[in-house]
Amino acid sequence: MNKIMMNTPLVEMDGDEMTRILWKWIKDDLLEPFVELKTEYYDLGLENRNATNDEVTKLSAEATKKYGVAVKCATITPNAARMTEYTLKEMWKSPNGTIRAILDGTVFRAPIIVKGVEPYVANWKKPITIARHAYGDVYKASELRIPNAGKAELVFTSEDGSETRELIHNFKGAGVLQGMHNLDGSIQSFARSCFNFALDTKQDLWFATKDTISKKYDHTFKDIFQEIFDKDYADKFKAAGIEYFYTLIDDAVARVVRSEGGFIWACKNYDGDVMSDMVATAFGSLSMMTSVLVSPEGNYEYEAAHGTVQRHYYKHLKGEKTSTNPIATIFAWSGALRKRGEIDSNRELMEFADKLEAACIKTIEDGQMTNDLAIISSLKEKTVLNSEDFIKAIRVNLEKML
């Protein structure tokens, strides 16, 4: 069989621990035998981030802006324990945070659905994708503990020195106070990323805030979304046969639970934090959750939603076989290859991505799976495989499909 050729390189961001091991196995067994892989390789493993003073992370994000599509392995975000474990020069920042700051994007997370791993919500038939705004609100807030009676005000001092004041509360005794913000620019980017992703994936977009209570703050989110939609997206949505739908957050929660899925739910930062864990858990497993960062200019960075699976890596280092689930990492590759194929009009590459995903799903639905899935799968006949054997089983199915 002739290998599938690629026109443009993918930005490949290698990572850490167990996912770095899986990364190599996936490439060796599922990609390189079939595709003449063209990648621009960046080693985001913690050792190399430390050696390059984290320059490699920035370069990889810049490369993503140049080529448009990246695939990323999970990486360690250093903490105190990692400082000694890797003898770090500094406690380098989260690579995901650095990449997000450079690409200015929105993170979309969607579950991979397989028979046997049924969502806890019985009527959910299709994935629900959560789009979380990743800037501001309570994550960049200032807070005060108020010790006694007194007056609290919001004060904005303009560049020209003029002041605008708004009473928050006349405290009669002790209490708490919080000040938070967001930026029109960031909300606009969030909105555009969501509209673009909805068009890309041909799914309806839902957005919800509490604008009836928060008449300026949340209302601004609602207005910005609506303005951008009316101006730049209404016609495109109509042509694609999809809808943009705004409602109140509490109404959205009720509708989401009653729905059959198959849409994107755009959430403000805090709502996205809370709801993505709820949706991920309700769909079954974090190891079956994909994640893609989409920038407002239309650059894409695909990854798995889980971390480097440290506990499994230490077993691997001791020579033990682990049953770490590679599915979300494989889907990061298939997502990136499909998007690359789409941009380059490379039909073969897009079809390969579809078949790779289909082979993964067939393998699991035929009863061959890693331990994390076996625990929750309702299939009667199932075989627990270690990661290597599971990847080999996927390869057998993939070869039949190609």
- Positions touching ligand NAP (CB under 6 A) are 74-77, 96, 286-287, 303, 306-311, 324-325, 372
- Pick the closer one to ligand NAP by CB: 191 or 385: 385
The least distance separating ligand NAP from the CB of residue 382, rounded to whole angstroms, comes to 15
Binder of residue 307, out of Mg ion, ligand NAP, none (CB less than 5 to 8 A by kind): ligand NAP
The verdict on 270 binding Mg ion (CB under 5 A) reads no
Tell me the torsion sign for CA atoms 358, 401, 19, 332. Answer: negative
HSE of 246, CA atoms in CB hemisphere, 13 A: 19
Pairing of strands 10-14, 69-72: parallel
Q: Which of 345, 307, 344, 337 is nearest to 325 (CA)?
A: 307
- Pick the closer one to ligand NAP by CB: 187 or 364: 364
Cβ atoms of 6 and 349 closer than 8 Å: yes
- Pick the closer one to ligand NAP by CB: 51 or 376: 376
Q: CA 123, CA 154: separation in Å to the nearest integer? A: 45
The least distance separating ligand NAP from the CB of residue 188, rounded to whole angstroms, comes to 26
The least distance separating ligand NAP from the CB of residue 77, rounded to whole angstroms, comes to 4
Binder of residue 377, out of Mg ion, ligand NAP, none (CB less than 5 to 8 A by kind): none
Longest CA span, the chain: 79
* Options 29, 62, 200, 273; binder of Mg ion; rule CB under 5 A: 273
Q: Under 8 Å CB-to-CB from 172, ≥6 apart: which residues?
A: 149
The least distance separating Mg ion from the CB of residue 274, rounded to whole angstroms, comes to 7
- Pick the closer one to ligand NAP by CB: 203 or 322: 322
Binder of residue 357, out of Mg ion, ligand NAP, none (CB less than 5 to 8 A by kind): none
The least distance separating ligand NAP from the CB of residue 372, rounded to whole angstroms, comes to 4
**Cβ atoms within 10 Å of 90's Cβ, excluding its own:** 11
Give the residue closest to ligand NAP by C-beta. Answer: 307
Q: Phi first, then psi: what are they for 272, rounded to 5°?
A: -65, -40
Give whole-number Cα distances, 276 to 130, 318, 355, in Å: 6, 34, 28
- Pick the closer one to Mg ion by CB: 276 or 368: 276
Chain residues that interact with Mg ion, rule: CB under 5 A: 273
